[in-house]
């Protein structure tokens, strides 16, 4: 693997957070390696020439101005050459059907169109190719996205080995992670195994504190009034989810600290904004663009200033116990402590530990909040939907002796489970899932071969709306999955429901999220009446979703009305 330090910045050793000053790792096949190979000698030659010139500041400044005036032209030429290479080169993939134009420059314009018309383009490709080749591609501004569609091809993608396709490589392409978060995160996303090994397996230990925090958050943010109270839906849901999740991630009192919660929720916006801007440019320009637009380093500094001392104190205590072989009696049991322990084992810095905590905030908060807001809009638009869920929760409450938050109580909520699964089927938070990057040529049973270095993804929304799987697939039927076995529960991954991915790399945090969302919906139907605040769509109409590329975002401005449940 060739490593080139952009602008002469040194590569930081393992264990050092390289965010904001990261080394550019030239591991992209095709165009990126080609351009780095071609451009680096010119960069070195230019540097040497400038150094040999007059040492006076005025002469050097004049020389710089003389060279700089050509940079816009050089960048424009480089961009055009890249577009041609992306079409004519080995990764042009002209043998794979295209939605939109595949011609140079026009493909880039189609990629810009994809940022606003992804839904139409993905559904169009699925309708044409899901049951033929099972493979098609759509243009994004920075590269092709190859879509895997249809049951046979998705099953084949699910079964591909890690030496054929990379899960983390796919996530890297989706988020531009190495440019925004640093290469260290891409190479060792050690927070993800902790989700499965620690969080999911020990979820029972956190049921009590999650319920306590959620109930308190509802009282603080919505209250229990006999009068209708209007709240901004997505913002309020995000606040409740953030407090409940962080009761497990960092504990009290930090999970209620407004400043910390602002950092935890805004990291999602930082990554989303940075990713959107960076992905408008071809790969060889991304490192430079990232240095201009990446907002994550600033957020990390704020986070470290706030919780860095806590991390340092915990790490010092953990290392002392390890050295002295003694027990830590009042050892915190939260996700931050697990990150500290893992950081000690791996030799990572405290700054790195805080970065990985922010990554957990990113993956846990925004997806859960958007998923629940999608569901809340259905409930608020049709108040009759509350009846079967309310009856179910009341019966469970009696069976469980008043403990709504126990694992057995939540597992009995079949109507609530079906409601959430159907909402996720109709909306989801992303139109594609099972993100992978090919490491070698992979051939599907339809005969289509995808070359190495290609971003692959499965068509989630189109699969969920496929009439082959579901009758009246475009109609919201909240009780569609009631009465079916556990193979059709909210967290299950099946051929017709791929919102959480598939196979061994399916979302490891889905059990945590499902418990949280089911408990939240149960609390609402038990204690509140809800309805939509009239908006542009009219009275009792569910607000429309907003699509930004693959992302499916519930209306960010809609308000929902809450009041204390009316008793008959």
- How does the average pLDDT of the chain come out, rounded? 84
Q: What DSSP character marks residue 355?
A: H
Top pLDDT among 506 and 79 is at 506
pLDDT for the residue numbered 562: 97
**Buried/exposed 217-228: b ≥16 CB within 10 Å, e otherwise:** bbeeebeeeeee
pLDDT attached to residue 404: 86
- pLDDT of residue 3 exceeding 90, the answer is no
Per-residue pLDDT band at 106 (split at 50, 70, 90)? confident
- What's 219's domain CATH number? 1.10.630.10
Is residue 75 domain-resident? no
For the segment 56-99, what is each residue's pLDDT rounded down to a tens digit? 445 545 554 555 555 565 555 665 666 565 555 556 688 899 99
Residue 24 has pLDDT above 80, yes or no: no
Q: Using 50, 70 and 90 to split pLDDT, how confident is the model at 418?
A: very high
507 annotated as ligand-binding:
yes
DSSP string, 240-264: HHHHHHHHHHT-TTGGG-HHHHHHH
Alpha helices in 18-70 (DSSP H): 31-52, 57-68
Q: Are strands 546-548 and 432-438 parallel, antiparallel or unpaired?
A: unpaired
Structure token pair of residue 429: 């938070």
The tens digit of pLDDT for each residue in 443-497 reads 999 999 999 999 999 999 999 999 999 999 999 999 999 976 665 789 999 889 9
55 pLDDT above the threshold of 80: no
Q: Are 478 and 418 in contact (CB under 8 A)?
A: yes
Yes or no: say if 234 and 554 are a contact pair by the CB < 8 Å rule. yes
344 lies in some domain = yes
pLDDT at position 38: 45
Kindly indicate the confidence band of residue 1, based on its pLDDT and cuts at 50, 70 and 90.
Answer: very low
Identify whether 489 is part of a domain.
yes
390, part of any domain: yes
Range from 44-48, 183-187, 256-260, 388-392 carrying the lowest mean pLDDT? 44-48
- What's the confidence (pLDDT) of residue 237? 98
Percent of the chain, pLDDT > 90?
61
- Does 306 fall in a domain? yes
Q: What is the pLDDT at residue 497?
A: 94
Asked, for residue 404, whether it belongs to a domain, the answer is yes
Q: Could you tell me the pLDDT band of residue 21, with boundaries at 50, 70 and 90?
A: very low
Tell me how many domains the chain contains.
1
Nearest to 277 by CA among 368, 176, 146: 176
Classify residue 245: in a domain, yes or no: yes
Residue 182 lies in a domain: yes
- Which residue range is the domain that position 548 belongs to? 177-428+459-564
Number of residues written out for the chain? 568
Over residues 203-223, mean pLDDT: 95
């Amino acid at each position: 693997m060739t490593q080139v330090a952009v602008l002469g910045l040194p590569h930081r050793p393992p264990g050092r957070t390289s965010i904001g000053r990261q080394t550019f790792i030239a591991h992209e096949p095709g165009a990126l390696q080609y351009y780095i190979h071609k451009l680096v000698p010119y960069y070195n030659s230019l540097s040497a020439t400038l150094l040999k010139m007059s040492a006076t500041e005025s002469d050097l400044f004049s020389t710089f101005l003389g060279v700089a005036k050509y940079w816009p032209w050089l960048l424009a030429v480089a961009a055009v050459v890249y577009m041609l290479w992306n079409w004519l080169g080995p990764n042009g993939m002209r043998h794979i059907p295209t939605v939109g134009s595949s011609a140079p420059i026009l493909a880039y314009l189609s990629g810009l169109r994809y940022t606003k018309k992804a839904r139409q383009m993905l559904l169009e490709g699925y309708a044409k190719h899901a049951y033929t080749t099972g493979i098609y591609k759509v243009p994004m501004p920075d590269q092709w996205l190859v879509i895997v569609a249809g049951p046979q091809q998705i099953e084949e993608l699910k079964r591909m080995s890690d030496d054929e396709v990379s899960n983390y490589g796919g996530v890297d392409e989706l988020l531009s992670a190495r440019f925004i978060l640093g290469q260290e995160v891409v190479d060792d996303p050690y927070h993800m195994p902790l989700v499965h090994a620690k969080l999911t397996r020990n979820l029972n230990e956190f049921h009590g504190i999650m319920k306590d925090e959620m109930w308190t958050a509802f009282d603080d943010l919505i209250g229990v009034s006999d009068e209708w109270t209007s709240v901004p839906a997505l913002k309020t849901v995000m606040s409740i989810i953030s407090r409940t999740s962080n009761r497990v991630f960092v504990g009290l009192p930090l999970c209620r600290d407004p400043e910390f919660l602002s950092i935890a929720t805004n990291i999602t916006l930082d990554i989303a904004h940075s990713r959107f801007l960076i992905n408008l440019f071809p790969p060889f320009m991304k490192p430079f663009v990232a240095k201009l637009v990446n907002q994550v380093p600033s957020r990390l500094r704020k986070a470290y200033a706030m919780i860095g001392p806590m991390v340092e104190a915990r790490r010092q205590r953990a290392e002392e116990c390890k050295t002295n072989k003694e027990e830590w009696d009042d050892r915190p049991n939260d996700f931050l402590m697990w990150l500290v322990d893992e950081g000690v084992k791996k030799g990572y810095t405290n700054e790195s530990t805080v970065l990985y905590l922010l990554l957990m905030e990113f993956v846990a908060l925004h997806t859960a909040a958007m998923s629940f807001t999608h569901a809340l809009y259905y409930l608020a638009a049709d108040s009759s939907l509350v009846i079967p869920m309310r009856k179910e929760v009341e019966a469970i409450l009696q069976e469980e002796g008043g403990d709504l938050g126990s694992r057995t109580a939540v597992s009995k909520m079949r109507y609530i489970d079906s409601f959430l699964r159907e909402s996720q089927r109709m909306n989801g938070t992303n139109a594609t899932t099972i993100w992978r990057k090919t490491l070698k040529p992979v051939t599907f049973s339809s005969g289509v071969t995808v070359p190495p270095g290609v971003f692959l993804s499965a068509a989630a929304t189109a699969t969920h709306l496929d009439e082959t799987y579901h009758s009246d697939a475009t109609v919201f039927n909240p009780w569609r999955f009631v009465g079916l076995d556990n193979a059709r529960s909210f967290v299950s991954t099946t051929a017709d429901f791929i919102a959480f991915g598939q196979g061994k790399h399916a979302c490891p945090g889905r059990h945590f999220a499902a418990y949280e969302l089911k408990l939240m919906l149960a609390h609402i139907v038990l204690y509140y009446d809800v309805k939509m605040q009239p908006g542009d769509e009219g009275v009792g109409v569910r607000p429309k979703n907003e699509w930004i590329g693959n992302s499916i975002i519930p209306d960010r401005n809609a308000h929902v009305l809450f009041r204390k449940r009316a008793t008959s």
